Structure 1
Amino acid sequence: MERIRRILVAGCISYSLCLELALAQGICQPSGSGTALGFNISPSMVVNSDAVLDSKMSDIGGTGPTAGERVFSFRRTISSILKSAGFPDDPPAQERFVQTMLDTFAPANGFALNPSAGMLMPLDGRGGENTKLNAADLLDETSPIGLVPLALFNRFDLAPTDWSHCGEHRIVYGKQNPGFPSRFLLIFEAAVDNPGTGEAGCRPVAEFWAGLSEVATDNRALTERLSAFYYDGKATSYGNTVDLSGPVVDYRNYGGDGVRGQVRGNLFMQEPWQLREWLTQPIFDPATPSPS
């Protein structure tokens, strides 16, 4: 499968756990140079090796119904977000969650309420090909429009000066065989909580990325370490494993705690090209039990 090797991401994601549309737009700076094996950071590190991104759960010892799915599958990421927020995690719940994002494409051009500002703001609706997307197909990596992982990014350069978090650690997804102009990209930009205090607190995260050079030629070990970091909150390097504050893929790290992280989308499926951003936001339906 051909993959997008260089990605310039730009941005605006939205989930009864919902991704709430943020009425904001902006542009991310180019990620800089990076390779899957050299791990040069200038200023970012990019892992875009097919051997890693196409690895299946069974390749790292996974069993059960998800054994045949990719380690960094879109479904696994959505599942982990739901679990971290205490919500039920099953295919129907995953589809409902993703659908809250797709629902934001439906409004016609007009105005929408910005709940943070308490005011109406202009909103460009998305019709056309965007309305043909559905959650079930996006979650199914065997579907012609299923989302698959394209790259993993380390963005230490986005850590704040007070080191309240350790920069952003991203997973980029894109439609399979999208052609042009029907490309659709989602970037999960997790801002990881500092497991300690100050710059020294982020040392285990920095050492994790640096330590990947130990296993750069061992695809299974490389995949296992990255999987444990993103989904289990474990940073292994130089013979030492550190438990972080939690997994990278956690609803709090995508705006769920109100202070950091987001999910961004690049929509090329209708002119003009549009950028969107959503934030994870728990919304409790009184008709359903609250998560424990």
Structure 2
Amino acid sequence: MPALVDHMARLGGVATRSELLEIASRTAIARALADGSVHRPRRGRYVLPQAEQSLRVAHELSAVVALRSAALTHGWKVRTVPERPEVIVPRVRKVRDESRGRATLRRAALEPHEVERGVTSPLRTVVDCARHLPFDEALSVADSALRSGLLRPTDLMRAGAHIQGAGRMRVLRVLHNAHRKAANPFESSLRAIALDVQGLAVVPQVGVRLAGGERVAPDLVDATLGLVLEADSHEFHTGRARLKSDCWRYDELVVAGWRVLRFTWEQVMFEQVWVRSVLERVVALLTHRTHKPLDGLTPQA
């Protein structure tokens, strides 16, 4: 897999031009566009070709683009880009055997308002992902939906009041924990792990005041425990200036009394048992000692 395509997948399958320029040169971007490994549906917006492929396959199968494929089509970032288009077909429609291998099929009844131009609506997409995907995958989609502005927290709250059927509690958990301030699927996945740790209550992008009045917004903060979790994106953001800024941020947080844990993308995506173990151990450490709440914590608007 070309380096740019690999980085695009790690970014969630979609990216702005500024995001790509942080990880690749203009020449590399132009080369990826020329060979079709990356598409540009509109100015300043880039996607992996799977997003557009899903529309073609769904049309050929008389299906509707759904789940993560629908999320990508809406322009949202996903934790894992699906290898094959994910689509929904009516329960009674027959699908030829030779067509089954071209997409991941789910059968469901869709109301007219739940389909927009051959794609499940934003709200139906979030609910379907919450019902059928692992928690970290579904939370990444729901966070991205709120971040995009296509859905609001009130939309999810209203939807939650009407959720029925199998997987209802899974759906409600995702809708309840979705947060518009989650920066990307990397951070959403780390938060998904943290939400399974008893005694840990992290909030994304909380404003923290440091020495001299400087303010930073760590990825995840538990103010009660005085704990900061960072989804360390150093591999995506190279350069001396960024490294200097990261070191300053880490050191100032520690001096201010925060315990800071940093996790790489590979650890969060592929070593979740270890990440959870670290979080459980640090919670046990912090809750068995006397500490007072830290001052200078102010949520940002």
Q: Shorter-normalised TM-score: what interval?
A: under 0.3
| TM-score, with structure 2 as normaliser | 0.25
Q: Comparing both chains, which one has the higher relative contact order based on Cα–Cα distances under 8 Å and sequence gaps of 6 or more?
A: 1
| TM-score, with structure 1 as normaliser | 0.25
Which structure shows the higher strand fraction? 1
